[in-house]
Amino acid sequence: MNKAYKFRIYPNIEQKIMFAKTFGCVRFIYNKMLSDRIAHYEATKQSLKNTPAQYKAEFPWLKEVDSLALANAQLNLNAAYKNFFTNPERGFPHFKSKKTNKASYSTNNQKGSVRIENGRIKLPKIGFVKIKQHREIPSDWTIKTVTVSKNPADKYFVSVLFEYENQVSKITPKKFIGLDFSMHELFVTSEGDIPEYPRFYRKALKRLAKAQRKLSLCQKGSKNRQKQRKKVALLHEKVANQRKDFLHKWSKKLADNYDAVCIEDLNMQGMSQSLNFGKSVSDNGWGMFTTFLQYKLEEHGKQLIMIDKFYPSSQICHVCGYKNEETKNLLVRDWTCPNCHEHHDRDINAAINIMEEGKRTISA
Report the C-alpha gap between 141 and 69 in whole angstroms: 23
Residue 280 CA to chain centroid, in angstroms?
Answer: 18
Q: Output the CA torsion sign for 182, 184, 189, 192.
A: negative
Catalytically annotated residue among 66, 259, 283, 347: 347
Q: Are 166 and 3 in contact (CB under 8 A)?
A: no
**CA 149/CA 159 separation, integer angstroms:** 8
Side-chain-facing half-sphere of 147: CA atoms under 13 Å: 15
Beta strand ranges found along 152-272 (DSSP E): 156-163, 176-182, 186-189, 260-264
d(CA 44, CA 27): 26
What's the rounded Cα separation, in Å, for the pair 356 and 281? 26
Among this protein's residues, is 64 annotated catalytic? no
| Catalytic choice (66, 180, 259, 356) | 180
Please, are residues 96 and 27 in contact by the beta-carbon 8 Å criterion? yes
Per-residue DSSP letters for 148-179? Answer: EEE-TTS-EEEEEEEE----PPPPPP-SEEEE
The verdict on whether 347 is a catalytic residue reads yes
Measured between alpha carbons, how far is 256 from 179 in angstroms, rounded to an integer?
15
Cβ burial of 3 (10 Å; 0-12, 13-18, 19+) is: middle
**What is the C-alpha to C-alpha distance for residues 296 and 294, in angstroms, rounded to an integer?**
5
Catalytic residue (one of 66, 259, 264, 283): 264
180 is catalytic: yes
Q: Which residues are catalytic?
A: 180, 264, 347
